[in-house]
Structure 1
Amino acid sequence: MMTIIISTLSLALIGASLRQIFHSLEFEHKIFSLQLFVSIMLLYTIVMVGFGIIYAVLMNQGIVVYEENIPFKHDYWVRDIVRSIYFSGVTLFTVGYGDIIPMGVGKWIAIVEAMIGYTLPAALVAKVWLKHQGDR
């Protein structure tokens, strides 16, 4: 039950962050600004940490979401979260080093996260471009 609650809260935070970035991008007649850069970095951090928490919670409940080259063991909860956030970052930015691979339900979660990471820059560029064209 706790897994569902934490996962739902993480997804709600990710969704709210995505919605907020697209509704609050206001510029001072600039295509790019420091505010935009910081907003994008914050958005990516929230998505990466949010999915990392989901992975960590699922792994803690015994649901295999990813597999490492070394056997997974619950040695310390901070390492589990850091490992999960690392996996989330590698997935979000579609780097795929190959040291951790998604397994089971983690494959589907990773696909959703990779789609967000892949389409978010295009969506933001389109939003900025349309805003810039409208200001002319």
Structure 2
Amino acid sequence: MTIITWLLIAAVCYVISKSVFDFIRGEKKLFGVEMRERRFSSEIFYTLIITYTIVIIGFGLIYFILSFEGILLVEGGELRQVSPIGSMIHSFYFSGVTMLTIGYGDITPIGIGRLLALIEALIGYVLPTAFVIGLVHNSNQDRARD
């Protein structure tokens, strides 16, 4: 793999990890925008949606970048060569399905893609848990103040 490939993957990984860790830590800022409150609100819900979207797009981009290096997603048990647009669509679809449902089995990663899919699935399980724990923690803090 070329250095440009690794730099692109590193940049995408940075954005994904920063989004996830900021959400888990309960940051009151999202992309520089100050959030008003820390208990359940539409702002926290939108933050969760944006975090999920960033992770899905980020991993989709990683799968897409790796497809140029010969690491492909296998569809229906056969290795298929698709156009760059088709590869991008498959990559984002696979990323979304892996993040939200642990996959349907119609597309299977090979090589390092398997490790990436496991990491993405783990993030998909951790984010809602962190969301609920954050809400409970903030609710307990609010009660303690009253």
TM-score of the superposition, structure 2-length normalised?
Answer: 0.82
> 2: CA distance between counterparts of 1:44 and 1:110?
15
- In structure 1, runs of 5+ residues without a counterpart are none
| 8 Å CA contact 2:19, 2:51 repeated in 1 | yes
Q: Tell whether the 8 Å contact from 2:74 to 2:110 is kept in structure 1 after alignment.
A: yes
Q: Structure 1: which amino acid aligns with 2:8?
A: I
Say if 2:96 is the partner of 1:99: no
- Pairwise mapping of residues 1-136 of structure 1 onto structure 2 (< 5 A)? 1-21=3-23, 22-25=25-28, 28=37, 31-64=39-72, 66-69=73-76, 71-75=79-83, 77-136=84-143
Gapped regions of structure 2 (runs ≥ 5):
29-34
Q: Post-superposition shift, 1:94? A: 2.6
Alpha-carbon offset, residue 98 of structure 1: 1.4
Name the SS for the 2:108 alignment partner: strand
Q: Give the superposed CA RMSD.
A: 1.8
How many pairs does the alignment contain?
133
Deviation at 1:81, TM superposition (A): 1.3
